[in-house]
Amino acid sequence: MMGMRWTNWLGLAMLVFFLVIHEPIWLLLGFGTTADGSMTFDSTKILWVIPVVAYIIVAAVLIIRGDPQRDDA
């Protein structure tokens, strides 16, 4: 755990932050509930998926980059 780079910690912090604010993002993507409790989807907001997926991919890449002792040769 102590052998992690700062980029690994940044990726981890990004994913933790995403887990904290996932509910507003879920609503931003067009998912919601009606008065009777059924799930709805507004397809006009589907383009918001692109930056959300890009954020998750960047966070995952930062976590996966490896430890500082990795031999690149």
pLDDT digits (tens, 9 = 90+) for 3-27: 678 888 899 999 999 888 887 887 7
Report pTM: 0.68
Measured CA angle at 42 (ends 41, 47), to 5 deg? 115
pLDDT digits (tens, 9 = 90+) for 20-60: 888 788 777 777 877 888 888 878 877 888 888 999 999 99
Spans of all domains in the chain: 6-64
CB atoms within 10 A of CB 7: 15
Q: Are 61 and 5 in contact (CB under 8 A)?
A: no
